Amino acid sequence: MKIKTWSILLVVAVLLFVNLYYNHSIYGSVSGMAAPECPEITCPDCPDCVCTSVEPAAEAKPAQTITRYVCPDGTVVDAEDECTKPAASFEEIPTPGSTDLIEKIIVRPTCVKEHAGGLIYYVAKTIPDNVAVQLKQGSTFTDIYEVNGNKFENYIEFGMTPKSWVGSFQLEPGKIYTIKVTFDFTSTYGTEQYSSEYEVDARNPSDYLHLCNRMGIY
């Protein structure tokens, strides 16, 4: 009876030893073999594996310099040319009552292709045969620019930058000029009419020379 009991215990012991040896062989506890490394999968998907590899750090991107521009009106834009330039606001300057065929004449400072200058804007009630800008020299007026009368409304720009010819005609800086605009309605009304006389101050620090700078255009 004792021999049978010992035989049973021996068999159980052998089975336990074989089971322990098998498990330790798999996980490396007894045999000294290292546990299998995780394959190319996420560690949580392989809980029994030894995951010693570290995911490579994200490559740092080089710093970028971002330049923004503040426009004269306080608007922030990506490019300087995105600044909105102030729109020209025309104020009607009434012409003499004798010029009944001329509805409007405006002479004012403006920027001509980013250069100092002026603008003449006119509206006639009918298309004139010819329009001329006249400059007072002494006691007389002389034509300095003519426009074929193919429209009853028109803009005429003139510059004041000696090194950059812009506009339809040039006036030298540093002087005061008197100009007027004449209209030839001979073919339709048999008459010529002219505007009021306008003073163009091309001296410092007039708007004719510095409007572009004050508007932040240059």
The tens digit of pLDDT for each residue in 117-129 reads 899 999 999 999 9
User: Rg for the chain (alpha carbons), in Å?
Assistant: 46
Closest alpha carbon to 210 in 84, 121, 218, 73: 218
- Residue 136 — pLDDT band, cuts 50, 70, 90? very high
Instruction: Say which residue, 114 or 126, is predicted with more confidence.
Output: 126
- Taking domain 92-214, whether its CATH number is 3.40.1190.20 is answered by no
Structure tokens at 164: 């950059």
Distance CA(178)–CA(46), nearest Å, equals: 93
Can you give the residue ranges of every domain in the chain? 2-45, 92-214
User: For residue 26, what is the enclosing H or E element?
Assistant: helix 2-27
Q: Tens of pLDDT along 166-201?
A: 889 999 999 999 999 999 999 999 999 999 899 999
| Predicted TM-score of the model (pTM) | 0.55
